Amino acid sequence: MKTQRLRDLLAQDKCHIMPCCFDALSAKLIAQEGYELTFMSGFAASASRIGAPDLGLMSYGEVLDQARNIAGAVPIPLIGDGDTGYGNAMNVRRTVDGFARAGCASVMIEDQLAPKRCGHTPGKAVVERGEAFDRIRAAVDARAALREDGHDILILARTDARHEHGLSEAIERAAKFAELGADILFVEAPKSEAEMREVCGSLPGPKMANIVEGGETPDLPNAALHDIGYAIAAYPLTLMAAAMAAMTTALRGMREDRRENLMGFGELRERIGFEDYYRISSDYDSASR
């Protein structure tokens, strides 16, 4: 089970590098390159699916469909971005239930005011403590109900309170999330290595760092992140930025009849899965027998 595999990874004395995906193909590439887990980046998924910024424009149904397609394409654990839970506490319960049944090993629930914003962009605001805690309480209750029904999922609890209320408030919220039963804690956008150390030193259990190239949190080497105390280092935009740079370069080159830095057609087919399809489908070719 992917959820148990994620538990096993979190139990290791290691900071896991987690490239974030935005669709089934990017997730397959992550798995093919040997990474042990991935996260569906809301920023990148919104850009990929609807060509719009991650400002609460994608609906619950669209996000769930994207997560289901990704989870079905890869053997590694997927953490889904459940945003604010898409409404009140009852909506949070439905969101957690839906992500578990879609195949996610974990779902992130955050304390931003809806419509949410990407963590490293202006205009973020968080709900008051009571509502934030109710969201995580509802998520944990949904997890318990799922287990009774033979399903399982981990709760990744995120706070964006650092931006508006300071680091102490963010740490206090995250500590309460852990007390309520969250499995993984995520304090978004600490602004220095000292703040990152304070986060990890103050909170129990596995913690996740969010590394955005050019963002507010220091882009430290993996060994340093492990030393600080992180169990996961998420890279939400690395693949999206690389893909967009490569595509725009290719498009500009086509005007001058240039085709540069392209993956070979054979490797392209192999990575997408054509050869596996042909190999498996040959077992059902009765006419050739």
Q: Tokens 């489908």 belong to which residue? A: 281
How sure is the predictor about 115, in pLDDT bands with cuts at 50, 70 and 90?
confident
Q: What confidence score (pLDDT) does residue 122 get?
A: 61
Asked which of 79-93, 109-123, 245-259 is least confident by mean pLDDT, the reply is 109-123
| DSSP code for 171 | H
Q: What confidence score (pLDDT) does residue 285 get?
A: 80
What percent of the chain is modeled with pLDDT above 70? Answer: 97
How sure is the predictor about 147, in pLDDT bands with cuts at 50, 70 and 90?
very high
Spatial distance between the Cα atoms of 185 and 172, rounded to a whole number of angstroms = 12
Cβ distance 173 to 185 under 8 Å? Answer: no
The set of residues, in sequence order, having a beta carbon less than 8 Å from that of 53 and lying 6+ positions away, is: 43, 46, 47, 118
Sign of the alpha-carbon dihedral angle for 44, 45, 48, 51? negative
Q: Which residues pair with 126 in a beta bridge?
A: 112
Spatial distance between the Cα atoms of 89 and 95, rounded to a whole number of angstroms = 10
Which among 194, 201, 149, 197 has a CA at the least distance from the CA of 175? 201
Q: What confidence score (pLDDT) does residue 114 get?
A: 82
- State the chain's mean pLDDT as an integer: 95
User: What average pLDDT score do residues 158-172 get?
Assistant: 96
Q: Which residues pair with 81 in a beta bridge?
A: 108
Q: What confidence score (pLDDT) does residue 287 get?
A: 62
Instruction: Please give the structure tokens belonging to residue 20.
Output: 């974030």
Sheet holding 16-21, edge to edge: 184-187, 154-159, 106-110, 78-81, 38-40, 16-21, 232-235, 208-210
User: What average pLDDT score do residues 7-29 get?
Assistant: 98
CATH architecture label of 2-246: Alpha-Beta Barrel (3.20)
Q: How many separate helices (H) and strands (E) can be counted in the chain?
A: 13, 8
How distant, in Å, are the alpha carbons of 45, 67, 254, 286 from that of 121? 16, 23, 33, 57
Given a cut of 80, whether residue 288 has pLDDT beyond it is: no
Instruction: Please give the structure tokens belonging to residue 165.
Output: 């209320």
User: What average pLDDT score do residues 21-43 get?
Assistant: 98
User: Beta 154-159 vs 184-187: how paired, if at all?
Assistant: parallel
Spatial distance between the Cα atoms of 65 and 47, rounded to a whole number of angstroms = 15
- Show me where the domains of the chain are located: 2-246, 256-288
Q: Where are the alpha helices (DSSP H) in 102-215?
A: 129-148, 161-165, 167-180, 193-202
User: What average pLDDT score do residues 236-264 get?
Assistant: 96
Cβ distance 78 to 71 under 8 Å? Answer: yes
Sign of the alpha-carbon dihedral angle for 173, 153, 95, 47? positive
How sure is the predictor about 118, in pLDDT bands with cuts at 50, 70 and 90?
low
User: What average pLDDT score do residues 63-89 get?
Assistant: 97
Spatial distance between the Cα atoms of 166 and 252, rounded to a whole number of angstroms = 44
Q: Tokens 């060994």 belong to which residue? A: 223
Q: Which residues pair with 207 in a beta bridge?
A: 185
Spatial distance between the Cα atoms of 50 and 60, rounded to a whole number of angstroms = 13
